Structure 1
């Protein structure tokens, strides 16, 4: 029997401004300048300008949620303020009078070391670890993998007695291609550029067009058949030019042009330095431009306000200008909110791991979960996850991904909570000192850890060993 029924339900949806903030929050510093440049090109009401106020001063208005920034129908007078917030990105971390020599230098010396530092966060088992090491070792100095996958499969079989197949190796390669810098592990220029464009996760028309040029029309693009491309894609010259300019900003050699040195691409998001026993935390915004809402656009709106508002042309012009002014203001406020959220999160991480940032000693790291930081900053754990994702911090001891500071904990027999990272370091030390002709099985490692006060089950020992990339005892045996 059919009938009608009425159902009321509540659904929470993100506003366009919230979505913009979430996307900006995920962007690492190395990509932020390009995102700002893209917005500057699209919105004439947004412009580069001199700093109006210190960008480190986030007042309560700037800390409002983006949802609260949404506007209804506004009067023209609301747009004619003289104190639109300017925004100077560089002021977040670098004083123009500071000497660059005081900046700690990165200790990551090569592309291979940097990739190996990241890879442990994305692999699931020992098999993937062995494949990843083989793939990373096969990368050329510019970051490309030019050795075909079938050859990698054969290399593993003949040199390590490790049997795998095309699908398994390609799956691990995809995980390597998800690491930083974007484009690493690509097999040719087309794949390198495609990875970088897809990494942007942007639905902007220029970005979508650039993706089509690389993924679907790379041959025509590389041969500069621009008229043919305009006809096939149904676009005009200005649209094509914007897409090409975006592609030109991509990095064709993600591994570095000389010696595989990744130093030019290791742009940390934070800088933490020890200033006479006190930790100084700064947000890196060195390469991003200053931003402000265009005064000329506000004056243009004022001019229209003096005209006949009933005329269709004037009404449409006013609507257009309002839209652009809103978009510019929202973008600046979203950037400001991003900076405030990043700093707030980093301060909490440093507070929890203060001893490590003072000494650089891994054994001083404490167990820490994202939900603990979320509780401290009074935000959702998903926000912390976005802040941590693909971000890094430069310390006096080198550059570390933010994920490095998060780990589970176990209880020492003394009752003290210890980070699993410290347990792994002790486990590594034990294995390094084991007899070469008779390596310790996991059962023995369990007993040796217990002697040091760490009660860990055998299966947990095996898990830690796999995460360290250490094979089972029979594969560690040497003559």
Structure 2
């Protein structure tokens, strides 16, 4: 077989470092992007950030009705961050931190976040009360074990027998009755009903804590003690017949029970507020919806020209290669940020144009839209649209939404049109909010009401949308009052 050389021409996609960096920045959230920018500033001496631009001037430019979308991109791509507070040490007065249980103001180091009593966990709140209660050493040990077994909702997740077995030893001569006595004391800690072993016990503890002269207290205790299953199933007709209470009387009993808290642990807040920084703003200016980048998320980066000019001087080859390498990385990073901002603004503009009805009339007017629709409009790949809409948020006059919120599947209508699944969810929520509490709408009835509006949806689809909205079924929404 004779050997020879052949020349072939072909195309293939090469994942260059520049392309990899651009894709990485494109899919980062705002907070992750800020961290990535800070890392680049720390590692690359030829990358600089200017801190003397005015955010107020940028905002004025955004509000100008004479500025179109393209000009908004040019002026806002790399606006500076807020001026740094150089007088921090002069304005900050150190405050000695106190324990969360003390209820005094607590400062958390560099974040300087206020943490009052509400930021303490349920366990911290109970331990603080335990320390104020005159317990013996053995009771204190039992109380600590009980509090450790309480979940976030305020319920005891371990039986008294298990707690007793875990504490008893040759050195500790305990009795099961001691555990039960300590449990009774903790159940009257704040919030009342904590450490209950069931919803029934939790509500009974709260009722017994009320004054004896409270109207309908004894009847409510009787209902909770004998007919908890009927109460949970909202079978008020059978409940009224077995309890021998008239409808008006049962309504008063239910009104009293509804004032109780079935999850006492929810009264103690343990979570810090989570803040969302929007990537783009949408405002109606001169009758048109306009999109602009958030200037706080786009620092003004530039190349440090003083370091870059060192290449022209008399320096060693190693130093020259070091400067040239970091210079090229700085240019790539700035260009990748420009590409990210341009893509984000282009996709956001396309979403706003496609969903004009939503911005004018609300959720019920949402149009069905998929990633491919935007990809076709902006002439990009669908995977790029998926990356740029993930963990990116849009600030609108009606709230802050993730860009993926505007994408939804479609349902055919009787007149041959299409309805967005988001719009159907909004209609379901509207119908449920307007229903009569004593006769809630079933999934079949909601299906019929939507069909009257020309929207054909299967009952199981209605059930799926209802569950996604956190709306319970009709038998659980039924109220006697």
| TM-score bucket (shorter structure) | 0.5 to 0.7
Match of 1:370 in 2: 371
C-alpha spacing 1:40/1:143, structure 2 compared with 1 (3 Å)? farther
CA pair 289-453 structure 1, distance change in 2 beyond 3 A: closer
Classify the secondary structure of the residue corresponding to 1:366.
coil
Q: Which residue of 1 aligns with 2:362?
A: 361
Counterpart of 1:283 in structure 2 is 293
Which residue does 1:5 correspond to in 2?
none
| Alignment CA distance shift 1:144-1:154 (3 Å) | closer
DSSP 3-state at the match of 1:21? helix
Change over 3 Å in CA distance of 1:435–1:29 after alignment to 2: same
SS where residue 151 of structure 1 aligns?
coil
Quote how far apart the aligned CAs of 1:407 are.
Answer: 1.1
- In the superposition, relative to structure 1, how do residues 441 and 396 fare at CA in structure 2: closer, same or farther (>3 Å)? closer
Matched, 1:90 2:100: no
Higher mean Cα deviation, 453-462 or 12-21? 12-21
Whether 2:281 is the aligned partner of 1:271: answer yes
| Counterparts of 2:75 and 2:363, CA distance in 1 | 41
Give the distance between the partners of 1:317 and 1:27, measured in 2 at CA: 33
Task: Kindly report which structure 2 residues correspond to 1:232-271, keeping only aligned pairs within 5 A, or say none.
Answer: 265-271=275-281
- Residue deviations 1:217-271, cap 9 Å, x none? xxxxxxxxxxxxxxxxxxxxxxxxxxxxxxxxxxxxxxxx999665xx3321111
Partner of 1:410: 411
**CA–CA separation in structure 2 for the residues paired with 1:149 and 1:282:** 51
Give the TM-score, by structure 1 length: 0.53
Q: Gaps spanning 5+ residues in structure 2: where? A: 1-7, 68-72, 83-116, 125-147, 158-196, 202-268
Q: Residue 311 of structure 2 aligns with which residue?
A: 301
Aligned residues: 293
Could you say if the C-alpha distance between residues 393 and 258 of structure 1 is closer, same or farther in structure 2, counting changes exceeding 3 Å? farther
Distance 1:418 1:21 in 2: 36
Q: Which of these residues, 341, 364, 367, is aligned with residue 343 of structure 2? A: 341
Alignment of 1:3-18 (within 5 A): 14-18=15-19
| Distance 1:431-1:88 versus aligned 2 partners, 3 A rule | closer
**In structure 2, do the counterparts of structure 1 residues 414 and 145 end up closer, same or farther at CA, with 3 Å as the change threshold?**
farther
1:368-392 CA-to-partner distances (Å, cap 9, x unmatched) read 1112111111112221112111111
Q: Please tell me whether Structure 1 or Structure 2 has the larger radius of gyration of its CA atoms.
A: 2
Mean Cα displacement is larger for which, 15-24 or 152-161? 152-161
CA 145–342 in structure 1, closer or farther in 2 if over 3 Å, else same: farther
* Per-residue CA distance 1:192-232 (angstroms, 9 max, x = gap): xxxxxxxxxxxxxxxxxxxxxxxxxxxxxxxxxxxxxxxxx
For 1:341 and 1:270, how far apart are their aligned partners in 2?
A: 12
Task: State whether residues 362 and 422 of structure 1, in contact with CA within 8 Å, keep that contact through their aligned partners in structure 2.
Answer: yes
**Long gaps (5+) in structure 1:** 1-7, 58-62, 64-84, 95-139, 162-256, 308-313
Q: How does 1:15-94 map to 2 (within 5 A)?
A: 15-49=16-50, 89-90=78-79
Distance in 2 (CA, whole Å) between partners of 1:143 and 1:27 is: 32
On the 8 A contact 1:29/1:284 being kept in 2, the answer is no
Deviations 1:404-430 (A, max 9, x none): 211112122223322122211222222
Deviation at residue 472 of structure 1 after TM alignment = 2.1
- 1:86·1:291 contact (CA, 8 Å) conserved in 2? no
Distance change >3 Å, CA 349–CA 315, structure 1 → 2: same
Structure 2 Cα separation of the partners of residues 28 and 368 of structure 1: 23
Decide whether aligned partners of structure 1 residues 260 and 389 sit closer, same or farther in structure 2, where only a CA change above 3 A counts: same
Aligned residue number for residue 395 of structure 2: 394
Q: Whole-Å Cα distance in 1 between the matches of residues 475 and 419 of structure 2?
A: 30
Cα RMSD of the aligned pairs, angstroms, is 4.1
Contact 2:364 2:427 in 1 (8 A): no
State the TM-score, normalizing by the size of structure 2: 0.53
Change (3 A) 1:417 1:86: closer
- Give the 3 Å change call, closer, same or farther, for CA 475–89 of structure 1 in structure 2: same
Q: Secondary structure at the match of 2:33?
A: helix
Q: How far apart in 2 are the matches of 1:469 and 1:428?
A: 10
Measure the CA separation in 1 of the matches of 2:75 and 2:288: 31
Contact in 2 for aligned 1:87/1:290 (Cα 8 Å): no
State the structure with bigger RCO (CA 8 A, min sep 6), 1 or 2: 1
1:442 maps to 2:452 = no
Whole-Å separation in 1 of the counterparts to 2:76 and 2:44: 16
